[in-house]
Amino acid sequence: MKKFLVLGALIALSMMGLGCGSSSSSQSSNPQSGSVFMTGEDAPLPSVVGFNVTLNSVTLNGQDGSTATVISSPVTVDFARLLGLRSPLAFNSVPADTYTSATFVLANPVIDWVDMTQTPPALGTPINGTFPNNQNPYTITVNFPTAMVVGSSGLAGLKMEMDIRQSVAVDPTTQQITGAVNPVIYIKATKASDPDGQVTDLMGGLVSVDASSSSFVLQGPYGRQLTIYANSSTLFNSGWSMNNLAVPAFVAVQGSFQADGSLMASGVEVITTAHSFVSGRVLSVTTNNSGQAQSITLWVGETGADMVNDVDTIMNIDVSQVSTYDVCFLNGPLTNAVFSDTTLVAGQRIFIGGSFAANTFTPTMISLRLQGVYGTFVPGSVAVNDGNAGTFSLSNNALVGYSVGGPVTVNTYNVTYFYQLTGLNQLQTTTTDLPLVVRGLLLVGPGGTPELYAGLVADPPQSN
């Protein structure tokens, strides 16, 4: 039991970005302009594992009628992958101003979903969504709850959340996705130092390393290269540091934007030095008589360039020869004790590194990834140990609930960040099935049942 308590506290600390410092970085060269970074999240719909939408453009609207461009070239974003996670979407220089709304031009929605009635769950036929009145592209303007102020040579953040629950229509009788998409987007002005402004989901290929400046360049999502800085507070996974980073490698980063568009890393994880990988959600696991995983069924959300045709498909992968099991940002003897070939379960988000030759993927390592889980709070389920350290139950009718066979136990700690909530004391007095998003790791708990170990518990927006 003690190892789970220690690991849980480490998980919560890692996801809060503690230890994130600063480094010198250039400001905007134009004193009349500032910089804006943009991150994306989502609020999910059960069974939807992929919701790809192209952002043709994103424009800020000033209080005096002025406009400023944040995104001008189309980028396709899978918002379903970003449940409880925050990925960098853009960074741009804009005129110093007070901005009251943002206009999004969206195109080509595609919905990937899993049929939970089959055993194991199977991928349904992808659905090409349609916007209202068959408009494609579709334009929507969303007001900031509080105006975004971009100062001269300043840095501001735009947090975007795509609410898939309210955006994707479901037939009330059959509970089937109809394909109609009426986008519901929430936006919020934030700061790089705020918990909801920090980047929690960035993974890419290592391009170059400059150990003398404690920095490296990462080929990130959406075609952008990002410069990442580390300092004495940056946590590296076991065996790695700035001194032995080398190409090729796939690297995961958590951190905060700086004024020049670089990131200061609070955590760096070298996932694999191989070129090939797949990443996604575990749908089912086949074990031997000793309970060791022999094969898995995986919904694939991301791959290396050599396996790009496998994105948004279901793969059956032989993992019987894999001996290396890691936990993101927390590798070491303690994590090896709680994640292994006997604790790989449906619902987990994992990364598998390996090699690809003759159209065959051979896995060599598996890393457990951070994930977000949406559900509803079970009234009366709170147990408080000390302050915010305790547990509560979360009902989830997607993969995690499928894996657990009912409500999942959520473990929280005094370092768990409660967003839009005062903490366990508020949940303890809550008598309704409050919607919640939990970000953390899904591990097999001391009782043998999968449990969530939470770094964040959030009350998501409920109305536009």
* pLDDT score of 44: 64
Quick check: 165 and 80 in contact, CB under 8 A? no
Please list, in sequence order, all residues whose beta carbon lies within 8 angstroms of the beta carbon of residue 239, skipping any fewer than 6 positions away.
Answer: 331
Look at 160-174, 258-272, 298-312 and tell me which has the smallest mean pLDDT. 298-312
The answer to whether 182 touches 159, Cβ cutoff 8 Å, is: no
The CATH code of domain 372-458 reads 2.40.50.140
Alpha carbon distance 187, 159 (integer Å)? 6
pLDDT at 20: 32
pLDDT tens readout for residues 392-423: 999 988 778 888 889 999 999 998 989 889 99
The per-residue pLDDT for 334 is: 58
- 246-284 residue pLDDT tens: 998 888 898 999 989 999 999 898 877 776 889 988 989
**Residue 175 forms beta bridges with which residues?**
none
Equal CATH topology for 276-368 and 372-458: yes
Spatial separation of the C-alpha atoms in residues 180 and 168, rounded to whole Å: 6
Residue 148 dihedral angles phi and psi, to the nearest 5°: -90, 120
Whether residue 9 is predicted with pLDDT greater than 60 in this model: the reply is no
* CA pair distance 132, 150, nearest whole angstrom: 33
Mean per-residue pLDDT, 185-202: 86
Averaged pLDDT for residues 421-429: 93
Between CA 209 and CA 242 the distance in angstroms is: 8
Q: In sequence order, what are the residues at sequence separation of 6 or more whose Cβ sits closer than 8 angstroms to the Cβ of residue 6?
A: 334
Question: Please, what is the average pLDDT of the chain?
Answer: 85
Global confidence as pTM: 0.79
436: its two tokens: 């919640």
Helix (H, G, I), strand (E, B) or coil at 244: coil
| pLDDT value of position 119 | 75
Residue 36: pLDDT band with limits 50, 70, 90: confident
State the Cα–Cα distance between residues 290 and 72, nearest whole angstrom.
54
pLDDT (average), residues 25-48 = 65
Domain ranges of the chain: 23-190, 199-272, 276-368, 372-458
pLDDT for 45 equals 66
> Looking at residue 25, what is its pLDDT?
37
Alpha-carbon dihedral angle through residues 151, 199, 21, 68, given to the nearest 10 degrees:
-10
Structure tokens at 263: 């990131």
Residue 44, preceding peptide bond in cis (omega within 30° of 0): no
CATH architecture of 276-368: Beta Barrel (2.40)
pLDDT surpassing 80 at residue 350: yes
Query: pLDDT of 140-163, one tens digit each?
Result: 999 999 999 999 888 999 999 888
CA distances from 281 to 44, 139, 268, 270 (A): 14, 32, 22, 20
Is the pLDDT at 322 greater than 50? The verdict is yes
More confident residue, 404 or 62: 62
Tally of CB atoms within 10 A around 32: 10
User: Domain 199-272, what architecture?
Assistant: Beta Barrel (2.40)
Map residue 433 onto helix, strand or coil.
coil
